[in-house]
Chains A and B, each alone.
Chain A
Amino acid sequence: DAGVTQSPTHLIKTRGQQVTLRCSPKSGHDTVSWYQQALGQGPQFIFQYYEEEERQRGNFPDRFSGHQFPNYSSELNVNALLLGDSALYLCASSLDSWADTQYFGPGTRLTVL
């Protein structure tokens, strides 16, 4: 049973560029959440997708956008990259049930130069 997968593992971009990160949920899961984890900090919630719609959003600017596909996989897009966007981006999947446990992927390490 495959767990949550994310690609790429590492990514280096320069300021002002755009980036797309990808996530495939655990088999049987239909909900995907994205988190940003800066160095030495706990993960911060970006947004959550269910049925191809953004259902919840954290305190992140509109430069952060996402998408969920019919097969439940998801993308996170960040436009106009800033140095402060350098972080580990974690994807978590779960079932759409009351406070179901979120299972995390290995993350994508984004470095903005």
Chain B
Amino acid sequence: AQKVTQAQTEISVVEKEDVTLDCVYETRDTTYYLFWYKQPPSGELVFLIRRNSFDEQNEISGRYSWNFQKSTSSFNFTITASQVVDSAVYFCALSEASGANSKLTFGKGITLSVRP
């Protein structure tokens, strides 16, 4: 069975600080996808990134970067120079490639508060 653990529940930082959100996953599959979603107070889940299990290259998109390490089953998310608009709940999710469009298994989420 697949599982996603987000051990941090709440993080509070001051604007312009860097912050890293941790994600550890468990799966028996060798082929799988990992995702990060952002959920602002409005409730809608906003897609941030998708990585497949064969691509361990780190990715950077503006102030966001992701570090994927299969050896430790981790897919961590770093926000550089955080801003108040980054305040939200962040979810890491896993999809096993057992068939077309497999279900997403989510972690419990990390509430990030960025103070001005």
**A-B contact count, CB below 8 Å?**
76
**Closest CB in chain B relative to A34 CB, distance in Å:** 10
Candidates B42, B44, B102; contact of A99 at CB < 8 Å: B102
- B105 contact set on A, CB distance < 8 A: 45
**Taking CB as reference atom, which chain B residue is nearest A45?**
B103
CB pair B100–A106 under 8 Å, yes or no, is: no
Supposing A56-B103, A98-B100, A99-B33 touch, asked if A43 and B45 sit within 8 A by C-beta, the answer is yes
Q: Which of B55-63, B77-85, B106-114 contacts A (4 or more CB under 8 A)?
A: B106-114
CB pair A105–B44 under 8 Å, yes or no, is: yes
CB pair B97–A98 under 8 Å, yes or no, is: yes
**Closest CB in chain A relative to B29 CB, distance in Å:** 11
Chain A interface category by residue count = 20 to 34
**Closest CB in chain B relative to A98 CB, distance in Å:** 6
CB pair A42–B47 under 8 Å, yes or no, is: no
Q: Is B116 an interface residue (CB 8 A)?
A: no
Chain B interface category by residue count = 20 to 34
- B43 contact set on A, CB distance < 8 A: 88, 106-107, 109
- B100 contact set on A, CB distance < 8 A: 50, 96-100
CB pair B101–A94 under 8 Å, yes or no, is: yes
**Scoring A residues 80 to 103 as 1 if CB is less than 8 Å from chain B, else 0, what string do you get?**
000000001010101111111111
- A109 contact set on B, CB distance < 8 A: 43
**Taking CB as reference atom, which chain A residue is nearest B103?**
A45
Candidates B46, B47, B103; contact of A33 at CB < 8 Å: B103
Candidates A58, A88, A99, A107; contact of B95 at CB < 8 Å: A99
- A72 contact set on B, CB distance < 8 A: none
**Taking CB as reference atom, which chain A residue is nearest B108?**
A42
Q: A55-B99, A99-B50, A99-B97 are in contact. List 10 more A-B contacts (CB 8 A).
A: A35-B104, A40-B108, A42-B106, A42-B109, A44-B106, A101-B35, A104-B47, A106-B42, A106-B43, A109-B43
Chain A interface (Cβ < 8 Å from any Cβ of B): 31, 33, 35, 40-45, 48, 50, 55-56, 58, 88, 90, 92, 94-107, 109
